[in-house]
Homo-oligomer: A and B are copies of this chain.
Amino acid sequence: MTNSPQVTVLCGGVGAARFLKALSRVLPAADITGIVNTGDDTVLHGLHISPDLDTITYTLAAAIDPERGWGLVDESWRALEALRRYEQIRPEGSQAGGTWFGLGDQDLATHFYRTARLKEGARLTDISQEIASAWGLDYRLLPMSDDPAPTLVSVDPKDDPGGDGTGWISFQEYFVRHRHGIAVRELHLGATSAHPTPEVVQAISSADAVVIAPSNPFVSIGPIRALPHVDELLSQRRDSVVGISPLVGGAAVKGPAADMMTDFGYRPDSVGIGQIYRAICGHLVIDEKDAVLARDVEEQGISATVTNTMMGDPAIDEHLARLTLTAAGLSV
């Protein structure tokens, strides 16, 4: 009898959540560790909000709203609606009472618990596991860091008329308030001055395989990579690190990844993804629609595996999970 392999997945939000779920079709959830981006974390109304952790937790618990892809199913919005009363009268220059970030009534409970536990001095690492356990999950979900590591986005100030004139805005202002519909000039990853937790270092170092989920390489995986030592640890074990391209047919399945590739001077396809990841991963899984790109990917010194990466169907999900682990050298 052999032990099941331990697999660690670098995670953003929706795409990563779907892949973790897919992975649980071939491995026990308890052997799967997600290292989750917290560069999107924000404080609104005094509440500490961790969007990627919540999206993953809710998705794995089958409690996510399937239409929106974020927040809880069967949600209500009474608190947010009541907040408009105050948003309308707040003094000029105040951001209080803002209703642009969707916080459902049931979802608030998660932010209440996280905020209260942080005030008690608990680590985000422990809190996130408590939240996962409250939803009955066996997965190990680790925030990438217990330190604040906010991602800041530089945009043309003209595109942010309500802003402070510098063009620097928080990730959520870019992503939610502006619906990622404006060009990004530059990113500042707060993670460069944060620390990965011991659990994160251990999960990267000792896993039998590391997977880079099909998430945005700049604003989801980028913050995890920006943490001190992470890229070094990954490059040391590059042959058992496998990425899944988030781009299919030259577009992101969801979100602004393709636009950002162009903004930052990369080809907006899986070849560009290979360029971004080649120092830290030896293998890339790309979608069958992009089979023609396999050679260009491999020319960068990365093995390419071609399959259907559009998750949602149990058989496709299981096949993707199995092929991904096989690419990393595991037989499952």
Contacts and interface: CB of A to CB of B under 8 A. Distances in A.
A274 B9 CA distance: 71
A24 interface: no
Interface size class of A (residues with CB under 8 A): 35 or more
Nearest to A126: B91
Contacts of A109: 79-80, 82-83, 85-86, 97
A130 B48 contact: no
Nearest to A83: B109
A69 to B, nearest CB: 20
Query: Main SS of the interface on chain A?
Result: helix
Contacts of A116: 44-46, 94-98
A110 B97 CA distance: 9
Nearest to A106: B82
Interface in A284-308: none
Interface string A84-112: 01101111001111100000011111111
A81 B107 CA distance: 11
A96 B97 CA distance: 24
A68 interface: no
Given A46-B46, A82-B106, A134-B89, A97 B119 contact: no
Contacts of A122: 91, 94, 96
A172 B266 CA distance: 57
A120 interface: yes
A133 B47 CA distance: 25
12 contacts: A44-B116, A45-B111, A46-B48, A46-B112, A47-B112, A86-B113, A89-B134, A90-B117, A91-B130, A95-B116, A95-B120, A96-B117
Interface of A: 43-48, 76, 78-83, 85-86, 88-91, 94-98, 105-113, 115-117, 119-120, 122, 130-131, 133-135
